[in-house]
Chains A and B, each alone.
Chain A
Amino acid sequence: MPMLELNGITQIFGGVTALKDVSFSISEGDITGVIGPNGAGKTTLFNIVTGIYKQTNGKVIFEGKDISGLPAERLAALGMVRTFQNIELFGNMTVLENVMVGLHSRSRSGLFACSFKMPWAIREERTISEEALEWLRFVGIEELAKIEAGNLPFGRGRMLEIARAMACKPRLILMDEPAAGLNSKETLGLAELIRKIRDLGVTVVLVEHDMELVMDICDRIVVLNLGEKLTEGTPREIQENPEVIAAYLGDDE
């Protein structure tokens, strides 16, 4: 059974077809890259998979379960989480608190228990902050824990977003252009980190423009062009595919 299966995804925005009958599947434990020229529909696809848009047609199946149309907040508990192209941090909260929000779906204390500081709420709060710190250590920014997230440099913000996503303990993580805005040293660190995440048994899907990174770390690549799936295969197959080359050159990428 594949980890994630897209079945004939079509998205129409007010007459414009952004995605047309896109189908592919992602196997557990793989790092899969979704690439394509600008406007190919990559981010739209991500937004559909993660419940932010509702597709016009087609099905998203996650671990055998049809999750089409499920709202975003349900997916974290099911084990799927994402990061954003223009990092979306909780800017007025500290770095540590950001990651603590990542543990939200795995904690239980309600309004009442929290207001009255019930013993179990206190215990849970302690576990949350300890585990959040672990995740900061995992991405290597634990020394920034007390800083307000809005003041982080971009590269660190990216790391924080990944730590926050990982705090959800996902089985599948989707990253929307994780290397965008990173310098080459940071990109190397990112490649390292993505492998580390995979080694934890988490399946990774990334939309990415940085071809070097994609070819370096991905096990499989799916190519989109103008809202349709052009082809898929291993990095080598993709590099040698004339259609892919034409799509990129033709689109002046």
Chain B
Amino acid sequence: MNVLVFVGIHTLLAIALNLLLGYAGQISLGHAAFFGLGAYSSGILTATYSWNPWLAMLVTASVVASVAFVIGFPILKLKGHYLAMATLGLGIIVYILFNEWVDVTGGPSGFSGIPNLQIGSLIFDTDFKNYYLIWIFVLGCVLLSVNLANSRIGRAFRAIHDAETAARVMGVNARLLKVQVFALSAMICSIAGSLYAHVMTFIAPPSFGFNISIELLTMVVIGGLGSIYGSFLGALLLTTLPEFLRFMNDYDIVFYGGLLMVMTIFMPGGLVRGIPQLFRKIRGSGKDKGNANA
């Protein structure tokens, strides 16, 4: 049950990154930062300042989205490798902040005493209850993202991805849309972070470091860039896999690295496109046009 809660949170994060990377074609190697900002802000507001958790989540999400919107303008001017490095740098700066701002965040030893979420007298304090809580959020997020992906805005994202200049000539305001999807993506991560904080009641910097950003990237790539269901698949696989890879201890990192490389070379469309393609190849029907745009 516990694992399914994490699958849910990871699905939220993977969808967030996928909207940015898979649809709009803009990479981020620092998304764990927004996840962490959500978690720490919710944690601090509720534990230190006794805010209502729901209010804290809402305020946090809006602030994180606004911050992402503002830094989005200079950062998304960059393309490709430069964008990757800049977002990576951003992620590391935020991570250092979590570690070093000890008075507020508790530093490397973590931040504890975060209350559970509560609706009336219903307190989300067991895995079972949290499972429902998280998955309601996930379902909502999937639904809204699929809607968005199949709308004029989603089309504009994909157009920017495929041919930015042509998209601009068609009247797509590429710069603004990129910043918007960046902010939206950051907001979803922030909400996932708030949920994570209230579920765990204890948070520490390593949950929001560079490795987590890379893990998210791996989920999105393995599931399938530009596929919301792929994000779920990737999150499911990468969250449950370590349970089966327990015997590998810390060495599962080798496995991730290898997986990322093998997938990029042999299945660049991810599992959602790769598996059907594989089936078709085995059946030998020769048609291999995977269309998984949802």
A contacts with B, residue count (CB < 8 A): 45
Within 8 A of B (CB), among A50-71: 50-52, 71
Answer whether A115 and B147 are a contact pair too, CB < 8 Å, given A89-B166, A101-B172.
Answer: yes
Contact bitstring A192-224, B, C-beta under 8 A = 1, else 0: 000000000000000000000000000000000
The majority secondary structure among interface residues of chain B is helix
Contact A168 B171 (CB under 8 A): yes
Closest 9 CB pairs of A and B: A105-B171, A76-B171, A114-B151, A88-B166, A90-B162, A72-B168, A115-B144, A88-B163, A73-B168
Can you list 8 A-B contacts with CB-CB less than 8 angstroms, sorted by A residue number? A73-B175, A82-B169, A89-B162, A91-B163, A100-B155, A104-B152, A109-B153, A115-B144
Q: Is A245 in the interface zone, CB < 8 Å from B?
A: no
Q: Mark A74-96, 1 if CB is under 8 A from B, else 0.
A: 11110001101000111111100
Interface string of A109-135 (1 = CB under 8 A from B): 111001111000100110010000000
Whether A239 sits at the interface, judged by CB under 8 Å, is: no
Least Cβ distance of A161 to chain B in Å?
8
B156 at the A interface (CB under 8 A): yes
Distance in angstroms between the alpha carbons of A90 and B282 in the assembled complex: 30
Residues of B within 8 Å of A75, CB to CB, are 169, 171
Q: In chain A, what residue has the closest Cβ to B148?
A: A115
Tell which of B148, B162, B174, B184 touches A93, judged by Cβ atoms closer than 8 Å: B162
How many of chain B's residues have a CB under 8 angstroms from any CB in A? 31
Contacts A91-B162, A104-B155, A114-B153; A73 near B147 (Cβ below 8 A) = no
Indicate whether A50 sits within 8 Å of B169 (C-beta atoms), given known contacts A90-B158, A100-B155: yes
Across the two chains, which residue of chain A brings its CB closest to B176?
A73
With both chains docked as a complex, state the minimum distance between the C-beta of A119 and any C-beta of chain B, in angstroms: 13
Q: Are A111 and B165 in contact (CB under 8 A)?
A: no
Residues of A near B148 (CB, < 8 A) are 111, 114-115
- Where the two chains meet, the residues of B that have a C-beta atom closer than 8 Å to any C-beta of A are 144-145, 147-148, 151-156, 158-159, 161-163, 165-175, 180, 184, 226, 289, 291
A94–B168 CA distance with the chains assembled, in angstroms: 18
Residue ID in chain A nearest B144 by CB atoms: A115
**A189 to B83 alpha-carbon distance, docked (Å):** 43
Taking CB atoms, residues of chain A closer than 8 Å to B167 are 90, 101
B154, B159, B167 pick with most chain A CB within 10 angstroms: B159
Closest Cβ–Cβ distance, residue B273 to chain A (whole Å)? 11
Kindly list chain B residues whose C-beta atoms are within 8 Å of the C-beta of A103: 152
- Complex CA gap A168/B144 in Å reads 28
- B164, closest chain A residue (CB): A88
| Nearest CB of chain A from residue B289's CB, rounded to whole Å | 6
A88, A89, A148: most-surrounded residue (chain B CB, <10 A): A88
Contact with B along A149-178 (1 / 0, CB 8 A): 001000000000000110010000000000
What A residues does B169 contact at CB under 8 A?
50, 52, 72-73, 75-76, 81-82, 165
Residues on B with C-beta less than 8 A from A82 are 169
Which residues of chain A come closer than 8 Å to B180, judged between CB atoms?
111
Contact A168 B170 (CB under 8 A): yes
Question: At the interface, yes or no: A97 with Cβ under 8 Å from chain B?
Answer: yes
- Cβ contact of B170, chosen from A52, A81, A117, A124, cutoff 8 A: A81
The answer to whether B159 and A101 have CB atoms under 8 Å apart is yes
**Known contacts A52-B165, A89-B163, A115-B144; A73 and B173 CB within 8 A of each other:** yes
A241 within 8 A of B: no
A125-B171 in contact (CB<8A): no
Question: B152 and A124: CB pair below 8 A?
Answer: yes
Give the residue of B147, B154, B291 whose beta carbon is less than 8 angstroms from that of A148.
B291
- Interface positions, chain A 4-29, Cβ under 8 Å from B, are none
Measured between beta carbons, the chain B residues less than 8 angstroms from A100 are 152, 155
Measured in the bound complex, the distance between the Cα atoms of B170 and A84 in whole Å is 12
Q: Please state if B170 and A104 are interface contacts (CB–CB under 8 Å).
A: yes
List chain B residues, Cβ under 8 A from A114. 147-148, 151-154
Please give the distance in Å from A217's CB to the nearest CB on chain B: 23
User: Which among B165, B166, B167 has the highest number of chain A CB atoms within 10 Å?
Assistant: B166
Question: Nearest-CB distance from B79 to chain A (Å)?
Answer: 15
A93-B159, A114-B152 known; A101-B170 Cβ under 8 A: yes
Report chain B residues within 8 Å CB of A71: 168
Task: Give, as a whole number of angstroms, the nearest-CB distance from A132 to chain B.
Answer: 10
Partner of A92, one of B151, B152, B158: B158
A140 → chain B closest CB, angstroms: 21
Supply 19 further A-B pairs (C-beta < 8 A) apart from A104-B170, A114-B147: A50-B169, A72-B168, A73-B171, A73-B172, A73-B174, A76-B170, A81-B169, A84-B165, A90-B158, A90-B161, A93-B155, A100-B152, A101-B172, A109-B152, A124-B152, A125-B152, A148-B291, A151-B289, A164-B170
